[in-house]
Structures are given as C-alpha cells and as structure tokens.
Structure 1
Amino acid sequence: MIAWRTDDIGFQRVAISTDQPLAFNRVFHDDITILAFRHSYWRSEQDRRQHDETPDHLVIRNAGQVFSARLIEARASAETAPECREMHLSGKRLAQIYEESHGVLPAVDFSSPVIMSPELVQLFWDTHWLFEHRNECTLLATTYLSWLLSAIAQRSSGQGLKASTASCSHRPMQAIEYLRAHFQDKISLSDLAQVCQTNPYTLLRQFKKAFGIAPHDYLLAYRIFRAKQYLQAGLPCSEVAHLCGFADQSHLNRRFKQRLGVSPGSIVPRTRS
C-alpha cells in the first residue's frame, strides 16, 4: 500500500492479491471515502442492502458508515495489476469545501454508496493520478478535484449546481491577470477563486464561458509562451523550467513537446544581423 496526504486529503493506492480471498466484515472508515477498483469485482453490504462493485462503479461512503465487502474476482492484465485507489476527506475538510462553494454545491447523498458511471470513475482516476504527481500543476490537480466533487454531488443528489448570487463580467479577466502575474507560482483553484472573490465552481463556469478553456489550460499555455521567450533570449532549459513554474527540466520538455511539437532545445536564440 502507498499512502500520502496533501491539502488535508488522504490518498491510498493498494495492490489487490489474485491469490487469496479478501473480505471485510462490518468495518467503517473514519473519514468520508471515495474509491474505485481496477481489474477486481466486489460485493458489499451496507444498511441491509447488497451492492456489486465493479470497475465501472465509484464507491462513496460517509464517515462511520458500517459496511461489509468481499472480493469476488481479481485478474491481472498485461498492462496493469488489480488495485484499489482511495481518497479520504475528514468531515471538517468537506465542510470547508462547502463553505468555499458559497452554496453552489448541492449536498452529497450517501444513501446510495455505489454509483454506476465509467465517466465518473475515469475522472476519479485522473484526479487521483494528478495528486500523486502533484508537480505536474497545482491548479490542474485542484481543478480536477473540484470537478470530481461537483460531479459526485450532482450525481448522488440528482441536483445541479445552484446559481451563484454574485456575478461579475470582469471576473474571468481578473483571473487571467492574476495567472499572468503569478505564472511561476503554485496556484490552487481555491487561491484563484479567492482572488476573484467567488467560489471555484462559479469561476470555472464563468472562465470556460468567456474563453472556452479552463484556467489551468490558460496557465500552461502562458507558461510555455514565457518559456519560449526565455529560451530565445538564450537562457538554459533548467533555468527556464524554474522561472516558468515547471517542476523540473523534464516536465518542461514534456509539456513543450505536447503543445508545440518540438523540444525546448530546438528553440534557437535570436541573433542580430
């Protein structure tokens, strides 16, 4: 098992054995738990109801809910082994998330703990991966977390996001101005929303409506733009990576190639005739 904690949220990645039966009888988590499986199938019981848990299901359990679960089948593929990934949020952390949402986010309904949705499962895996590789981009990871919690709240409750009582046509441009001024820093979605005096969910919606992309897409594009300027001025790649908010030179190389199709080293400094 690999476990870590960031932003007061616990993360776990657990390998599942294909050689021995696994069963948990009447246990509970201390925190609110979100989990999904790969290449394994489980049967659980909670509140006198049985549930099948497959790789197409996302499981959400409130803190203190008693449940039982047993492994039905686990099989490895050529690429990946059976595993379970989990996220753990304290009640205090979830309350903080709702406070930051300014009433926009509907309450999560934990009465049906197993949600059938391959799209939601994929969003969970992507979010989990981003927090495991946090150096990719803080804004990207925290945006995915907001998308995940928003999707879970809406899917479990059957309610959409509530309209924000505060509207401001200048807010998306305010966000861009902040991103351009602080592009080299680690910026979370909550940080950006606080600067714009709104909540993360409203900011994401208004930013996408105004510019057609999410804030983290803009930040990456601007970082690459500035990196290209620094490279053309003759700065070494390692220094450019640091100046532009990338984790290291390999991170800069990877993102540069993805966006521009060439490596940073191919950028030749401009010379005067």
Structure 2
Amino acid sequence: MKPRGFTLLPSPVDGVDVVLADSAQAFGRHTHDQFGIGLIERGAQKSANGRGVVEAGPGDLITVNPGEVHDGTPFDASGRRWRMLYIEPQTLMQAAADIAPAKAFEFQAPVIRDAPLAARFHALFNASSAHPDTLRFDTALLALVAQLLRPAKLDVAVGTGVQHARECIDDDPASARSLAGLAADAGLSRYQFLRAFTRLTGLPPHAYVLQRRVQRARHLVRTGLPLAEAAAAAGFADQSHMTRCFARNFGLTPGAFAPR
C-alpha cells in the first residue's frame, strides 16, 4: 500500500513542482502562483472556485490558474489520491506562444474527463519526474497545452485604485497594511474597498495578503534561505506561523521546498 500524505518529488525540469498526494485533508480557500494540473487516482473531491462548484473522481483531470481562489474537500474520510504538476506561468506560456502568439491563455474547465488527455498528462508527469530529457518534456507539455489551454476571457473592468492595491500587495506582501490605508489610497470607503477587492480577487484583503506571503516564502525557501529568515522576510510573525500556513496550502512543510 502506498504511504498516505504529500510528497514533493525531485524534478530535473526548472519551473515545475511534482507532487504525489494521498490524503483526507480539506483545503480552505487559497491560491497558487503557478498553473496546476493533476489527476485524481482514487476517491473524489468537491472544489469551489471562480468557475463554479465542481466534483472530481477517479480518472478526472483537475486544473487551476495562477491566482485563482479555490478550495478542495474530499467526499468522505477515506480521502482521495492524486498526482499534481504545478508549472510556472513562464514555462507554460512559452509553450502556448507556439500555438497562438501574443495571446493570454488559461485553463477554462476545472474538471475534465477525457482518457486521451489523461494519457497525455501521464506522459508529462513522467517527463517531469524522470531523468533530464528536455526533448521529452517539451514534447509532452506542448501536446497537453494544445488541448487544454484556451484564450483567456477578459476580466470585468475594476477600479484602477483597487487594482493598484492588489499590485502593491503582490510587490511587497511583507509590509503591514491597514484596511483604512488601502481604502484611502484607492479613494474609497473601507466598505466600498472591501467589497471591490473581494470581488476582484475572491478573497478579503487580509486573506489575500496571507496568500501572497505564503507564495513569497515558498520562493525564498527554494532559493536556499533558512526557514526562519524566509518567514521574517515574507512577513510572518514567526517560523511556526509560516509552517501552519504551508500545511494548509500545500499539505507540505516549508522544508519540503528547500534545495536538496
């Protein structure tokens, strides 16, 4: 029997995280910096995101776009087993550019049941976790991307002040901010800003800041920065707070992302 839990596999491919998971853990609303694509192997889960509430079971592909707020809850205590690839946007967009240059792309279907596509995912997963072979990886990535990515839909226009606030948080998530300060910079009341920001991002400001701090900390840990220093640099109160947030978001501790 395979061990339960989360395993980050070593990958020879830059810009790709390879995860094996077997867990009954429920994930609250969170985001990733990367594109995510995975395959449910056992069990089932329900997930809610900006594209609706969906269910995924054995054989289903699951996808998530960078910055997309989503959650994930197993159907029962037996949990589910899945394998997942998290791919940096630049890596995926380079493949998409070969298909339709100068266009923005995204995953539009959060759950896909398609045996040939699942086979292409397996090929990409194996190429991402095997010995270095750029030709094999590039071929598998392009074959999958050509079938899955679609031109991104334009977002509904939002206030420039609210968008600017989001960009400021993205640029420096460690900085302390107040709702009053963010609202004032956007030229809105606190209530107006809270509603507009939550509509834009899917999260209230304090939760969005925490998500960006988790992503910043993951990047810092991957560069080799000691965990305590990464926690402080990302804006966490201490290393234990960072560790709890990692476990809720990734099912893994920060040390799993440290260079080997």
| TM-score scaled by length of structure 2 | 0.48
Whose RCO is larger (CA < 8 A, sep 6+)? Answer: 2
Q: Bigger radius of gyration, 1 or 2?
A: 1
| TM-score scaled by length of structure 1 | 0.46
